């Protein structure tokens, strides 16, 4: 299988949304288990609709850099890079979104997308790359990928509490 990475085209967005939702299904199932049903329901009342909107808006947002991994004549992975100021002197290139079609996972496509994004951030002259992910079991494969790609994890914790 040959994989190439290219700029996202508008006609890729529906395919990207579809495989992203399938890719993130285990993550949201993990969130439900970790958060409990009541908190999960309040945070993610309709995760598929919300996530599809986030994917589409991140693909269309002016200034975002978006690429797809293509195999077998169609997109099978994608990544979005957003540039942020860190402080007055430094910018960061954030790998804001990344997903690989579940039918194509475990073939090096995620790593190729991370490496590609880091190379583009470097070409922009940005001295820092960042990527975030969850600490739940559903994100364990992402954490392994990012650490193998040389990212240093910084433990952060977010708490939720359901109120009456």
* pLDDT score of 86: 85
Regarding beta strands 74-85 and 91-100, do their DSSP bridges make them parallel or antiparallel, or are they unpaired?
antiparallel
Spatial CA neighbour of 93 closest among 57, 120, 60: 120
Domain ranges, residue 70: 4-148
Say whether pTM exceeds 0.85.
yes
Give the mean model confidence (pLDDT) for residues 43-72. 96
Domain count, the chain: 1
**What's the CATH code of the domain at 50?**
3.40.630.30
Look up tokens 């986030």; give the residue. 54
Spatial CA neighbour of 120 closest among 8, 2, 1, 13: 8
pLDDT, tens digit, 9 for 90 and up, residues 84-94? 988 888 899 99
């Amino acid at each position: 299988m040959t994989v190439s990475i290219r700029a996202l085209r508008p006609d890729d967005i529906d395919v990207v949304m579809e495989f992203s939702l399938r890719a993130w299904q285990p993550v949201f199932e993990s969130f439900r288990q970790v958060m409990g049903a009541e908190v999960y329901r309040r945070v993610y009342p309709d995760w598929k609709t919300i996530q599809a909107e986030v994917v589409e808006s991140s693909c269309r947002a002016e200034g975002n850099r978006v690429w797809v991994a293509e195999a077998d004549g169609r997109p099978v992975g994608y990544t979005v890079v957003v540039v942020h100021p860190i402080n007055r002197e430094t910018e960061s290139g954030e790998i804001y979104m990344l997903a690989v079609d579940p039918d194509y996972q475990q073939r090096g496509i995620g790593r190729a997308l991370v490496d590609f994004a880091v190379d583009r951030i470097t070409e922009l002259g940005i001295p820092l790359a960042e990527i975030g992910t969850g600490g739940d079991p559903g994100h364990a494969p992402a954490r392994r990928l990012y650490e193998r790609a040389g990212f240093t994890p910084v433990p952060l914790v977010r708490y939720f509490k359901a109120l009456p």
